[in-house]
Amino acid sequence: MELESYLRKALEKNEFHLYYQPLMDLKSGEITCIEALIRWQHPLIGLVSPAQFIPLAEETGLIEEIGAWVLTTACVQTKYWQQNGFPNLGISVNVSAYQFQQHTFLSKVMEALHVSRLAPASLSLELTESAMLKDIGYSISIMKSLQELGVKVSMDDFGTGYSSLSYLRNLPIDTLKIDQSFIKHLHDDPSNIAIVKAIITMGQGLAVSIVAEGVETHEQMNILRDLDCHYAQGYYIQKPLDTAAFEQGFRTVE
């Protein structure tokens, strides 16, 4: 109960902020999309990681409100950036398993699009494998409804779950995000190269875009480019930045 009131107050007091991390098109070098990552700036504790408070928000049910805030804030910000120099910028938003299963989820997505006037095609939603597989029939129906709206669906942390590859045939997904654990030892472990290469080939066959996460070195980026990976994300390209720092970064790119 105490935690719930803490989280609720955080929302009321505007202690949540979104950071943004770019996804780079490896062919053109362009930033095509940004991932929104929530941060909690607590006045006393300091910065609290979402890895800590998202599970609590799920337990208490507050994820519904926090998730709606994230969606709306991310869409409004992206629409603003589209109108101020980055017309083709897309936004990718993480959705937790519980949030995805809520019966209000689809209407919250539509509301965020309506309020922001962001084109649905500019929005991607990131779901983990386990979130998708929880109630697969229901998940597929919601994912299809999202795609009918024009919203894209990404599978986050791909390779860390237990799903059989046959699921990939049936799940309506636009993008696979290869988990950072495969990228971390890309240059010193040939088995990781083999796995990443196989995922990229599979992506081409299934017409699914591939994003490599957690790219931290030039060497990793070169390997991914050689393997024809579409997109990369990670500290080597840019770490997650707050709105002001992000706009600074835009200016230096221009």
Q: Which of 72, 96, 139, 175 binds ligand G (CB under 6 A)?
A: 96
Q: Which is nearer to Na ion, 64 or 157 (CB)?
A: 157
Both structure tokens of 27: 């062919």
Nearest residue to ligand G, by Cβ distance, number only: 234
CA gap 7, 220 in Å, rounded: 38
Residues forming beta bridges with residue 69, ordered by sequence position: none
Residues 6 or more apart whose Cβ sits within 8 Å of residue 24? 30, 31, 32, 231, 232, 233, 237
Mask of contacts with ligand G, 124-163, x by CB under 6 A? Answer: --------------------------------xx------
Q: Which of residues 189-218 bind Na ion (CB under 5 A)?
A: 213
- Which residues lie near Mn ion (CB under 5 A)? 94, 126, 156
Q: Which is nearer to ligand G, 21 or 192 (CB)?
A: 21
Q: Is 109 in the site for ligand G (CB under 6 A)?
A: no
Q: Is 123 in the site for ligand G (CB under 6 A)?
A: no
Q: Which is nearer to ligand G, 18 or 89 (CB)?
A: 18
Helices 136-149 and 105-116 cross at an angle (nearest 10°) of 20
Both structure tokens of 62: 């507050």
- Residue ranges in the chain assigned as alpha helix (H): 2-12, 50-60, 63-83, 97-101, 105-116, 129-133, 136-149, 165-170, 180-184, 190-206, 218-226, 243-253
Q: Which is nearer to ligand G, 6 or 20 (CB)?
A: 20
Q: Which is nearer to ligand G, 33 or 37 (CB)?
A: 37
Q: Which of residues 27-56 bind ligand G (CB under 6 A)?
A: 36-38, 49-51, 54
Residues forming beta bridges with residue 35, ordered by sequence position: 21, 92
Mask of contacts with Na ion, 139-178, x by CB under 5 A? Answer: -----------------xx---------------------
- What number of chain residues touch ligand G (CB under 6 A)? 22
Q: Are 156 and 94 in contact (CB under 8 A)?
A: yes
Residue 156 CB, shortest distance to Na ion, in Å, is 4
Residues forming beta bridges with residue 24, ordered by sequence position: 31, 232
Q: Is 129 in the site for Na ion (CB under 5 A)?
A: no
Q: Residue 187: CA atoms inside 13 Å, Cβ hemisphere, count?
A: 9
Q: Is 65 in the site for ligand G (CB under 6 A)?
A: no
Residues 6 or more apart whose Cβ sits within 8 Å of residue 45? none
User: Residues interacting with ligand G, by CB under 6 A?
Assistant: 21, 36-38, 49-51, 54, 70, 94-96, 156-157, 180, 213-216, 234-235, 240
